[in-house]
């Protein structure tokens, strides 16, 4: 069988990454002459006809090194970007039947570089729909810089609730679930399990404090009780050394000692500093959840329900690695654009966005219930998986019994009556 998609020539691993690259996903196989051709000819890659209308989606990709406690979860250089590329390929698989072609233009921006310069390069090419995995402050900068040019920014990476609330923007769509959504998803499960007493451990970074706040809010909303919270102040280098293991074995029981009775240790550790050290090292024999142990996430490479096996297979065949949550969030952004384009039968960004924000829009994303946009803050509503440390999927929230008058998906995160986001009225569809 002929391989259908060529894997990207990923020069990222050599460190020789070009600063800008264009990927035309999928292939525009000629349709209609199947029986007249040999099998090979029918799937031979060919460039799309020049008269096929095309839409280029931008991607502002954050190139940075991330150290994680668990070596196997060190993100690949193309983390997120590969998801967008598979999304473009999927868009084109459909687009070839609907006379629509999609491409992805990626700008690599290192931590110290200005993302707005990258965005301007995309705007210069007429690109108006831009996906990014940059952190929250940059997401706001990109949205504001693009607003004058009619740019819509799809936030695939930043979980900060402020982006959805007090710092919300009308031209921001969040495919990344917010901290509140993730915390609520875990809280629902722990309540379902009748494990309502939590010991909260959180780290020192501002991101950890935000995540800890999300767990405090979730506890209040769903009737859990945080019996104590403790800040982890270890100067942990990220990876265990031979001697480090022994130290951890001594330190972490002490860190969790003398806690009031609790059912589960909930960790808020956004940058993999301590949470993955916690399992099996607590003073009391208690399960760990949050940033380690039972992890709420928008994707897990073991998720095979709801047709997920096909997504996993397709992604691994393309990227030669497992699909992360960031890959999924970027894939969702690109597929939202492609799906809206096919139903709107247009590649005009305005028509695409009008359909995407409209009442009929639904995207299937391998989590049972379809995804759509919350009109009040641009957040994409979605089910959240609960992963057993990235090894198996334990459950999926919303949990049974948590009801909502509109959709059970809105039991996760900030709901319409609570939002502090004020959008121009024309954005509130």
Partner 1 sequence: MNLHVIARLRKGRSNLLQEGARGSVPLLDRSWFAALLPTRNKVSHPPAPLPQGEEERFCRAPFHPGRVGRQDGGQLAITCGRLVFALVLVLLLSAAPAHAYMAYASNEKDNTISVIDLDKMQVVKTVPTGQRPRGMALTSDGRRLLVCLGDSNRIDIFDTKTWQVVGSINTPDPEYAALRNPENNPLYVSNENNALITVWNIDTQKMLVQMPTGVEPEGMAVSPDGQLIVNTTETTNMAQFFSYGTGKNLANVLVPPRPRWAAFTHDGRQVWVSSELGGAVTVIDTKTFKVLDTIHFAVEGLRSTFIQPVGIDITADDKLAFVALGPANRVAVVSVPEHKVLSYVATGHSEYNAKVKKYLLVGQRPWHMAFTPDGKYLLTANGLSNDVSVIRVSDLRVINTIPVGQQPWMVLVSPH
Site residues (vs partner 1, CB under 8 A): 1, 4, 29, 31-37, 39, 42-43, 90, 93-94, 96-98, 307, 309-310, 313-314, 317, 335, 338-339, 342-343, 362-364, 368-370, 407-408
Q: Select from 93, 80, 306, 270 the least CA-distant residue to 182.
A: 270
The candidate with the shortest Cα–Cα distance to 296, out of 230, 154, 393, is 393
> Percent helix, strand, coil in the chain (nearest 5)?
35, 20, 45
For partner 1, the closer of residues 270 and 382 by Cβ is: 382
DSSP class of residue 416 equals: G
Which phi-psi region, left, alpha or beta, contains residue 67 (left: φ > 0; alpha: ψ -120 to 50)? beta
Closest approach, Cβ 398 to partner 1, in A, equals: 10
Q: How far is the CB of 370 from partner 1 (least distance, A)?
A: 4
Task: Output 97 or 280, the one with its CB closest to partner 1.
Answer: 97
In the sheet that holds 20-23, the strands lie side by side as 20-23, 101-110, 54-63, 129-132, 152-155, 172-174
The residue among 62 and 361 lying less far from partner 1, judged by its C-beta, is 361
Q: Residue 55's closest CA among 121, 127, 108, 155?
A: 127
Judge if the upstream peptide bond of residue 398 is cis by omega within 30 degrees of 0.
yes
Q: How far is the CB of 227 from partner 1 (least distance, A)?
A: 35
Nearer to partner 1, 132 or 312 (CB): 312
Of the pair 99, 249, the CB lying nearest partner 1 is at 99
Whole-number minimum distance, CB 39 to partner 1, in Å?
5
Give the nearer residue to partner 1 in terms of CB position, either 181 or 344: 344
Between the alpha carbon of residue 73 and those of residues 239, 243, 276, 281, 313, the distances in Å are 12, 22, 11, 20, 19
Least CB distance to partner 1 at residue 221 (A):
20
Q: Using the structure block, give the residue that is written with the tokens 């609570």.
A: 418
Helix axes 325-344 and 81-98, enclosed angle (nearest 10): 20
Question: 191 is written with which tokens?
Answer: 């309540």
| DSSP codes, 251-276 | HHHHHTTTPPS-SEEEEE-TTSSSGG
Q: Which is nearer to partner 1, 91 or 270 (CB)?
A: 91
The encoded tokens of residue 92 equal: 């084109």
Phi, psi of 421 (to 5 degrees): -75, 130
How far apart are CB 356 and partner 1 at their closest, in Å?
A: 13
Closest approach, Cβ 374 to partner 1, in A, equals 15
User: b/e map of 82-115 (b: 16 or more CB within 10 Å)?
Assistant: bbbbbbbbbbbbbbbeeebbbbbbbbbbeeeeeb
Nearest approach, Cβ of 337 to partner 1 (angstroms)? 13
Q: Which is nearer to partner 1, 167 or 370 (CB)?
A: 370
Least Å from the CB of residue 339 to partner 1: 7
Residue 214 CB, shortest distance to partner 1, in Å, is 25
d(CA 311, CA 309): 5
* Residue 60 or 89 with smaller CB distance to partner 1: 89
The DSSP element (H or E) to which 128 belongs, if any, is none
Radius of gyration, alpha carbons of the chain: 22
Q: Which is nearer to partner 1, 4 or 170 (CB)?
A: 4
The answer to whether 300 touches 393, Cβ cutoff 8 Å, is: yes
């Amino acid at each position: 069988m002929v391989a259908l998609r060529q894997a990207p020539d990923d020069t990222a691993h050599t460190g020789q990454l070009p600063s800008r690259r264009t990927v035309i996903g999928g292939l525009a196989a000629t349709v209609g002459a199947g029986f007249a051709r040999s099998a090979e000819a029918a799937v031979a890659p060919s460039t799309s006809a020049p008269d096929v209308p095309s839409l280029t989606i931008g991607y502002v990709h954050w190139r940075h090194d991330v150290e994680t406690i668990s070596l196997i979860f060190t993100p690949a250089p193309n983390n997120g970007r590969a998801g967008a590329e598979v999304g473009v390929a999927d868009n084109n698989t459909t687009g070839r039947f609907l006379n629509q072609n999609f491409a992805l233009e990626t700008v690599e921006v290192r931590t110290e570089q200005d993302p707005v310069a990258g965005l301007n390069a995309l705007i210069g090419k007429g690109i108006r729909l831009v996906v990014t995995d940059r952190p929250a402050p940059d997401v706001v900068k990109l949205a504001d810089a693009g607003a004058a040019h009619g740019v819509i920014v799809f936030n695939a990476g930043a979980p900060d609730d402020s982006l959805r609330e007090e710092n919300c923007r009308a031209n921001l769509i969040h495919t990344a679930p917010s901290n509140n959504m993730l915390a609520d998803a875990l809280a629902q499960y722990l309540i379902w399990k009748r494990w309502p007493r939590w010991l909260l451990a959180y780290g020192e970074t501002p991101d950890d404090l935000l995540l800890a706040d999300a767990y405090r809010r979730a506890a209040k909303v769903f009737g859990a009780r945080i019996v104590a919270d403790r800040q982890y102040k270890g100067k942990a280098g990220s990876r265990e050394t031979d001697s480090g293991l022994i130290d951890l074995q001594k330190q972490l029981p002490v860190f969790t000692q003398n806690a009031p009775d609790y059912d589960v240790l909930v960790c808020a550790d956004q940058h993999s500093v301590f949470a993955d050290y916690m399992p099996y090292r607590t003073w009391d024999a208690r399960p760990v959840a949050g940033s380690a142990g039972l992890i709420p996430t928008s994707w897990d490479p073991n998720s095979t329900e709801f047709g997920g096996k096909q997504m996993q297979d397709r992604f691994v065949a393309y990227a030669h690695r497992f699909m992360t949550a960031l890959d999924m969030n970027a894939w969702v952004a690109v597929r939202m654009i492609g799906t809206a384009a096919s139903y709107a039968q247009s590649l005009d960004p305005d028509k695409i966005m009008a359909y995407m924000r409209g009442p009929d829009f639904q995207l299937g994303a391998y989590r049972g219930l379809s995804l759509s946009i919350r009109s009040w803050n641009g957040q994409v509503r979605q089910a959240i998986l609960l992963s057993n440390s990235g090894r198996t999927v334990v459950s999926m929230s919303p949990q049974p019994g948590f009801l909502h008058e509109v959709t059970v998906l809105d039991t996760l995160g900030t709901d319409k009556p609570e939002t502090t986001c004020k959008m121009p009225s024309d954005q509130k569809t």
